[in-house]
Chain A
Amino acid sequence: MIAAAWICLLTPLGATLAITLAGSRITRRGAGYLATASVAASFVSAVVAFALLLGDSPEHRSHPSTLWSWLTAGQLDFGLRILVDPLSVFMMLVVAGVGSLIVAYSIGYMDGDDEERRYFAYMALFVFSMLLLVQGGNLLLLFVGWGLVGLSSYLLIGFWHDRPSAIAAAKKAFVMNAIGDATMALALFVVIQRTGSLDFETVFTHTGALGGGWAVNLVALGLLGGAVAKSAQLPLHTWLPDAMEGPTPVSALIHAATMVTAGVYLIVRTNPIFEAAPRVLELAAGLGAATLVLAGLIALVQTDIKRVIAYSTMSQIGYMFLAVGLGAYANGMFHLMTHAFFKALLFMAAGIAIHALAGEQDIRKMGGLRRLMPFTYIAFLVGTLSLTGIPPFSGFFSKDSILGAALAQGWYGQVLWGVGMIGTFLTGLYAFRLFFVVFWGEPSGFVREHLMTGSHAQAREGHLSHDGHESHMHAGEGPLSMTLTVGVLTVLAATGGLLQFAGVWTPVSDWLEPVARPLVEATGAQEAVSSVLAVGLGLAGIWVAWLIYAKRRVQAPRLATVQALLEHKFYFDELYGLAFYRPAVLLATGLTRFVEQPLVLGSVRGLVRGVRELGLGTGRIQTGLVRTYALSIAASIAVVTVVFLAVR
Chain B
Amino acid sequence: MKGPDVVWYLALAGFLFCTGALGVLIRRSPLIVLLSLEIMLNGANLALIAFSRHYAQGDGQIFALTVMAVAASEVVVGLGLIVAIARKNLDLDVDKLSTLRG
Contacts from A to B (Cβ < 8 Å): 619, 622-627, 630-631, 634
Contact = CB atoms under 8 A, between A and B. Distances in A.
Given A630-B24, A630-B25, A634-B21, A624 B94 contact: no
A622 B24 contact: no
A627 B100 contact: no
List the 4 closest A-B pairs by CB distance, nearest first.
A624-B98, A624-B101, A624-B100, A630-B24
B21 A622 contact: no
B101 A622 contact: yes
B98 A631 contact: no
Give the interface size class of chain B.
10 to 19
B33 interface: yes
Contacts of B26: 627
B5 to A, nearest CB: 21
B101 A631 contact: no
A625 B24 contact: no
Nearest to B99: A624
Interface in B9-58: 21, 24-26, 33
Given A624-B101, A624-B102, A625-B95, 7 more contacts: A623-B98, A624-B97, A624-B99, A625-B94, A626-B33, A627-B26, A630-B21
A624 B100 CA distance: 5
A155 to B, nearest CB: 61
Contact of A631 (B25, B97, B99, B102): B25
Contacts of A623: 98, 101
A163 B25 CA distance: 83
B101 A627 contact: no
A627 B21 contact: no
Contacts of A627: 24-26, 94-95
B15 to A, nearest CB: 15
Contacts of B99: 624
A631 B100 CA distance: 17
Contacts, number: 30
A623 B95 CA distance: 10
A158 B101 CA distance: 65
11 contacts: A623-B101, A624-B98, A626-B33, A626-B97, A627-B26, A627-B95, A630-B21, A630-B25, A631-B25, A634-B21, A634-B25
Interface SS, B side = helix
A187 B52 CA distance: 86
A626 B102 contact: no
A624 B98 CA distance: 4
Contacts of A630: 21, 24-25
A275 B101 CA distance: 83
B41 to A, nearest CB: 14
**A624, A631, A634: which has the most chain B beta carbons within 10 Å?**
A624
Contacts of B25: 627, 630-631, 634
Nearest to B95: A625
B47 to A, nearest CB: 14
Nearest to B96: A625
Contacts of B94: 625-627
Contacts of B100: 622, 624
Contacts of A625: 94-95, 98
A624 B25 CA distance: 14
A631 B26 CA distance: 10
Nearest to B26: A627
Interface in B57-102: 94-95, 97-102
B19 to A, nearest CB: 13
A630 B27 CA distance: 12
A630 B24 CA distance: 8
Nearest to A629: B100
Nearest to A622: B101
A626 B37 CA distance: 12
A623 B101 CA distance: 6
Nearest to B100: A624
B102 A622 contact: yes
A627 B98 CA distance: 10
A634 B33 CA distance: 15
A623 B102 CA distance: 9
A631 B22 CA distance: 9
Nearest to B22: A634
Contacts of A631: 25
Contacts of A624: 97-102
A156 B26 CA distance: 88
Contacts of B24: 627, 630
Contacts of B95: 625, 627
A624 B96 CA distance: 9
Contacts of A634: 21, 25
Nearest to B28: A627
Nearest to A627: B25
A630 B40 CA distance: 12
A626 to B, nearest CB: 5
A198 B11 CA distance: 91
Contacts of A619: 101-102
A331 to B, nearest CB: 88
A631 B97 CA distance: 16
Contacts of B101: 619, 622-624
A625 B100 CA distance: 8
Nearest to B21: A634
A492 B94 CA distance: 106
Nearest to B98: A624
Contacts of B33: 626
A631 B95 CA distance: 14
Contacts of A622: 100-102
B35 to A, nearest CB: 14
A618 to B, nearest CB: 12
A622 B98 CA distance: 9
Nearest to B18: A634
A630 B20 CA distance: 12
B61 to A, nearest CB: 24
Nearest to B94: A626
A48 to B, nearest CB: 84
A634 B25 CA distance: 10
